[in-house]
């Protein structure tokens, strides 16, 4: 397995570009199953999860053509409506093909998803919603099997808790259902809105995406589309924190500042200067000692759980005590132990982590336990004294496109060891 070797102590300076959003690209790829016409997706990031989803679509029957950041897909016929465990065991997003397959061909067999070990992401919310739309679903041998031979029908679905992939899955299923579907307590994340824009371009009738109530009027068929994926707000946020933690001056280009409001507010409270020189750029500079600031993860527009680990790394360098509360996933503090190996002072109490700083971090051998935890270890290593070796970086490859090359381009001493 590949490793990162990082020598800390260098302030990051210059410009780093944001890739397309992995979390928006995955449902967009799944949406191509809803039509037999070509779907062109632009600004697709070159990350492991995307490659896994593309392989899955090929198995299902999609023709996939990749040219740089553009992917063209056409599913003239569903050959095999199945997502096998062997292919999707490393990717949570496999459940996103469930709704499109049931809507398009009336049946699906999808392995219960794998991916990061950060806690439960209940697939039961997907199942409940599809059952409301008329699908018959049962689970056996680690697979969800769904059938709707007479097609889906519109219904009102109230999610017990906000779920991004559940909202996306049900939205894709509902666009081909008979009648009106109303999704209540729907996720408001930008990725949901991006998927809705693609589906509308394909001929779907959707209102309210970006709010907690989404209305979908079913149509008989969908057409093709040519769609550009939104910027990756988590990657952009990670780079903003990288500039702040190294006391650098870093411009993150090609991002959407409207998607990063909660993070920017916390950075400014901590003493980081954040400016927006143009519509798609944020520039950070940290010339004063950092101040500790409490943070609680929330659904959008709150502070993203996918930036919690990175923020915790930043707080190890701040003056005072910061309380970081994780409300989305119950097992997302596994990076705390690895940060402690580098010298961080972190105490865990249930859903909260108490971070005391500033602490002198020193290089050590650490292990990445999940995608965002691995990013926090990279950030800590950038400011640590000496050399840090991060093992299992395949986790970070699932969601960040060439992160070592991007960071090296702005001054980081980082290299990949194969």
The CA-based angle 135-171-29, given to 5 degrees, is: 105
In Å, how far from its chain's centre is CA 255?
15
Q: Torsions phi, psi of 21, nearest 5? A: -75, 120
What 3 state SS string does 22-49 have? HHHHHHHHHHHHHCCCCEEEECCCCCHH
Task: List, in order, residues 6 or more apart from 217 with CB less than 8 Å away.
Answer: 154, 179, 180, 205
CB-facing half-sphere around the CA of 215: CA atoms within 13 A: 5
d(CA 164, CA 145): 21
Marked catalytic residue, from 80, 105, 116, 255: 116
Q: DSSP for 241-290?
A: HHHHHTT-EEEEES--GGGGHHHHHHHHHTT-EEEEEETTEEEEE--S--
In Å, how far from its chain's centre is CA 81?
25
Under a CB-based contact definition with an 8 Å cutoff, are residues 24 and 231 in contact? no
Between the alpha carbon of residue 59 and those of residues 56, 81, 93, the distances in Å are 5, 9, 16
Q: Is 255 a catalytic residue?
A: no
d(CA 68, CA 88): 24
Q: Look up residue 92 and give its two tokens.
A: 């949570």
Q: DSSP for 71-82?
A: EEEE-SS-S--E
Active site residues: 116
């Amino acid at each position: 397995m590949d490793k990162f070797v990082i020598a800390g102590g260098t302030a990051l300076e210059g410009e780093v570009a944001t890739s397309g959003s992995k979390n928006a690209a995955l449902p967009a790829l799944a949406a191509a199953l809803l039509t037999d016409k070509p779907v062109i997706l632009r600004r697709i990031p070159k990350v492991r999860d995307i490659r896994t989803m593309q392989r899955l679509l090929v198995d299902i029957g999609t023709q996939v053509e990749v040219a740089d950041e553009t992917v063209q897909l056409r599913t003239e016929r569903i050959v095999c409506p199945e997502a096998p465990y062997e292919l999707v065991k490393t990717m949570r997003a496999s459940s996103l093909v469930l709704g499109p397959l049931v809507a398009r061909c009336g049946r699906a067999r999808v392995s219960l998803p794998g991916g990061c070990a950060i806690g439960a992401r209940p697939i039961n919310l997907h199942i409940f919603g599809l059952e409301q739309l008329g699908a018959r679903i049962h689970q056996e041998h680690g697979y969800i099997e769904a059938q709707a031979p007479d097609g889906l029908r519109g219904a009102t679905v109230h999610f017990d808790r906000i779920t991004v992939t559940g909202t996306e899955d049900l939205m894709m299923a509902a666009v081909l259902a008979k009648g009106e579907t109303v999704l209540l307590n729907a996720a408001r994340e930008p990725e949901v809105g991006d998927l809705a824009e693609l589906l509308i371009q394909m001929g779907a009738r959707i209102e309210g995406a970006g709010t907690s109530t989404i209305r979908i009027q079913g149509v008989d068929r969908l057409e093709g589309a040519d769609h550009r994926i939104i910027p990756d707000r988590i990657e952009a946020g990670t780079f903003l924190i990288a500039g702040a933690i190294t006391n650098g001056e870093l411009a993150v280009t090609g991002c959407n500042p409207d998607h990063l409001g909660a993070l920017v507010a916390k950075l400014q409270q901590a003493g980081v200067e954040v400016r927006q020189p143009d519509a798609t750029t944020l520039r950070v500079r940290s010339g004063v000692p950092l101040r500790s600031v409490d943070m609680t993860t929330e659904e959008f527009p709150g502070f993203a759980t996918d930036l919690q680990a990175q923020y915790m790394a930043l707080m190890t360098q701040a003056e005072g005590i910061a309380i970081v509360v994780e409300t989305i996933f119950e097992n997302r503090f596994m990076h705390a132990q690895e940060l402690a190996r580098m010298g961080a002072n972190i105490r865990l109490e249930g859903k909260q982590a108490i971070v005391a700083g500033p602490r002198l971090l020193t290089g050590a051998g650490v292990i990445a336990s999940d995608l965002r935890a691995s990013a926090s270890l990279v950030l800590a290593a950038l400011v640590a004294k000496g050399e840090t070796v991060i093992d299992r970086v395949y986790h970070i490859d699932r969601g960040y496109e060439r992160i070592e090359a991007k960071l090296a381009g702005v001054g980081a001493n980082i290299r990949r060891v194969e």
